[in-house]
Chain A
Amino acid sequence: MKRVFIPNRGEIALRIVRACRELDLECVVGASDVDLDGVAARSADRAVCLGPGPARDSYLRDDVVVQAALGTGCDAIHPGYGFLSESTRLAARAREHGLVFVGPSTEAIALSGDKLAARAAAQRAGVPVLPGAEVESPGVARPAARRIGYPVLVKAAGGGGGRGIKRAGDGDELEAVLGLARSEAGAAFADDRMYVERLIEAARHVEVQIAGDDHGEVVQLGERDCSVQRRYQKVIEESPAPSLPGPTRDALRDAAVTFTRAIGYGNLGTVEFVVDSSTGDFFFLEVNCRIQVEHPVTEAVTGRDLVVLQLELARGRPLGFAQEDVTLAGHAIECRLNAEDPARGFIPTPGTLSLFAVPERPRLRVDTHCYAGAIVPPYYDSLLAKLIAHGDDRDQAIEILLDALEDVDVEGVPTNRSLLIGALAHPDFRAGAVRTDWLERAMR
């Protein structure tokens, strides 16, 4: 591997450029025309324009991405997160043309994209899954949901990452949301298969970072708690998960390794679980085969560069360390600063950043592609920056973040800064674990 193509934008494209530098790899960023002036494109050895702003005409064109990678002499593609990061089409096409795709096997990507297949694989591996069933028709849905017990969540087999999920409290509601959910899923994921799962009311979202190599070695790098969410989108993440009983933590990590081994997964990945905080039971949710937005909290506590590791694994290198070499130090918390308008239901707010200042502090890491004068285009996600604090303990990490957020100065577009401060300073959050429905309740 000599030259890596990065068909992505924003902070993650910049993050991958930095990992390439670390490994003395050249890199080419493939950007849409509105991102050609961006920090990621400018920091790469070369940038090429994939297409116009709308992602479907640029970042989502797997044919254009592979053509661009080949045409610029790259021998690998790192897709980042979002866009084509979980596309079997891109992975297969890249590999057909002799390019290294930085990710697991195409089969593993397919499994992670098919939530029903992943659920079945978890069951076969002896990893607990939520009571649930595929629902081919409303006629099947009602008896299945009755068996499972209301309330249930209606999910799309092709969804994931919080997309395509709807709640149903009873049979009538189930029928109402099922039709809508099915047509939405068909349009969004080209897969209209739906399933229902029991809704855990006292749910926490806990995920385990895993890494596997081509030689069958698998390790876990601790877990992250991502329970602070708005509309199923993560807002604050931390590692390790707070107030989790020791046996539950160990069992979760073991289950993630068991599942990873069972599906023969090579590369970096995340196994997501829902933890019932009223009982301590946990259940498999899905596996993600990309680098995640919240990976820096794991990097902070493990002291390992996960994007470098991802590139090394993709080029066939062995893990180079064993489970006993993985130690977690201190506590890390990340919060996502988004261009959203709190006054208007947190709708994304594109615009020009007339001012953008984030503090530099010891034990604070800021991953961002923004600067004063930068444009936040209307086509993509609204993430402006990730602030990651690494403290000796959780309280210290909270203090570092609160202190830093006070000095965040963004003008030109509204941001969710006040929400982040409110959440981090809230007695519930300070006290320890919160449920996935906490933030929206606490905001009212």
Chain B
Amino acid sequence: MALSDEDVREILRIIDESPLAELRIQTEGFSLQVRKGRSADGPPLPPLPPAGPLAAGPLPAPPLTPAGPRTTPAEAASPPPAEAAPDDAQTIASPMLGTFYRAQAPGSPPFVEVGTRVAPDTIVCIIEVMKMMNSVPAGASGTVIEVCASNGQLVEYGERLFRVRAGGAG
């Protein structure tokens, strides 16, 4: 994925305005690691696992998360993203329960990445329910600033899939 200087500046600005100390983004063929300030104490971050191919086929039994409605492990492990985001960020929520796929087929490029500009009718992902592939449109205009769900994983109805910042320059 090509990032312009402007993209990088934008990412840095988001990090700067957020209470996050560190950000790691990894998608297929792209990884970004940004850290605020100096990490004087504590060991260096472990390397990210390699980006795997887009998953297909049966999923291993995931560990059960503690009881609690729509608390994904990601949400539990980090501050609520709303705090870390500009006010104009919109959420693309899953219109149904199913398996989340970021690309048309295994090996194809993802529909969108962080930084991709979308219109309401831009397809952002596929949700599979029992072999039925449902294309999900963005439903909003702007720039994708976060991919919140993992490829090949079960997403619930209403679960946050992406965040999009309204308006122009991505």
Contact = CB atoms under 8 A, between A and B. Distances in A.
A45 B61 CA distance: 14
Interface in B134-170: 153-154, 156-159
A73 B58 CA distance: 10
Contacts of A375: none
Contacts of A66: 130
B69 A64 contact: no
A246 interface: no
Nearest to B58: A70
Interface stretch (A33-41, A184-192, A254-262, A434-442): A33-41
A42 interface: yes
B97 interface: yes
Main SS at interface, chain A: mixed
Given A46-B65, A49-B157, A49-B158, A64 B97 contact: yes
A51 interface: yes
B61 A67 contact: no
A63 B132 contact: yes
Given A3-B61, A44-B67, A46-B67, A64 B98 contact: yes
B36 interface: no
A99 to B, nearest CB: 12
Main SS at interface, chain B: loop
Nearest to A73: B61
Nearest to B94: A49
| Interface residues on chain A, size class | 20 to 34
Interface of A: 3, 26, 28, 33, 36-37, 41-52, 58, 63-64, 66-68, 70-73, 93
Interface of B: 58-62, 64-70, 96-99, 128-130, 132, 153-154, 156-159
14 contacts: A3-B61, A33-B158, A36-B70, A41-B69, A49-B97, A64-B98, A67-B130, A67-B154, A68-B154, A71-B59, A71-B62, A71-B99, A72-B64, A73-B60
Given A42-B68, A48-B156, 10 more contacts: A51-B97, A63-B132, A64-B98, A67-B97, A67-B128, A68-B97, A68-B156, A71-B97, A73-B64, A93-B130
